[in-house]
């Protein structure tokens, strides 16, 4: 059975992500320090809330450098994805620096509410094992006020007053801005793809 490390970064989605993984037959190891990362085949960094708080917790747990040096695939979810980037406008905080770019606040506009909450479509931009078997323009569930801009690592975009990165991947580092644990079949397939497929 695959064992996946699930980082306890203080996010409210920790329990629902764990349950979603267990439904897929995955053995979950809850991790609160660097020692907990030893011997796992995959690592997931979930998160809900503010980037400064998320990074402060990772620093307090001694997980920042171990995550930067991780040699197995890593998936960030929601805030966890944002923390993979160089930094965030939210609190002007330095993040993990595993993906280039700065996470920025979504811009409200006529008919566009921030935070972005609810179902929205994924717009595939390039091939990735993460999206294997996911239909084009499949929907996923989002809750966020900040997002990463499009870049060469963007696998799929989403449009909410403008395009932003919804799925990203650079080598073994990947992320989903939405909540796969709340995104029905689409989310379950992406989690399964992360667990079963080697990064492309």
Residues marked as catalytic:
78, 179, 181
Distance CA 186, CA 175 (A): 14
Distance CA 171, CA 194 (A): 12
Both structure tokens of 163? 């395009």
Per the listing, tokens 């996010």 go with 11
Residue 162 is given by DSSP the state S
Distance CA 1, CA 80 (A): 25
């Amino acid at each position: 059975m695959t064992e996946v490390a699930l980082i306890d970064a203080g996010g409210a989605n920790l329990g629902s992500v764990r349950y979603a993984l267990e439904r897929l037959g995955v053995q979950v190891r809850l991790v609160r320090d660097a020692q907990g990362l030893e011997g796992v085949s995959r690592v997931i960094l979930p998160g809900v809330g503010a980037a400064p708080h998320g990074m402060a917790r990772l620093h307090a747990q001694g997980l920042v450098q171990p995550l930067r040096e991780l040699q197995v695939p890593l998936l960030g979810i929601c805030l966890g994805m944002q923390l993979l980037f160089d930094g965030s406008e939210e609190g002007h905080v330095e993040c993990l620096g595993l993906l280039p770019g700065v996470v920025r606040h979504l811009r409200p506009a006529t008919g566009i509410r921030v935070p972005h909450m609810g179902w929205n479509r994924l717009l595939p931009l390039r091939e990735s094992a993460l999206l294997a078997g996911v239909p084009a323009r499949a929907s996923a569930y989002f809750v966020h006020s900040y997002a990463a801009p499009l870049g060469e690592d963007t696998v799929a975009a989403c449009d909410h007053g403008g395009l932003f990165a919804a799925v990203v991947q650079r080598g073994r580092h990947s992320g989903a801005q939405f909540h796969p644990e709340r995104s029905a079949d689409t989310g379950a397939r992406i989690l399964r793809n992360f667990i079963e497929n080697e990064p492309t």
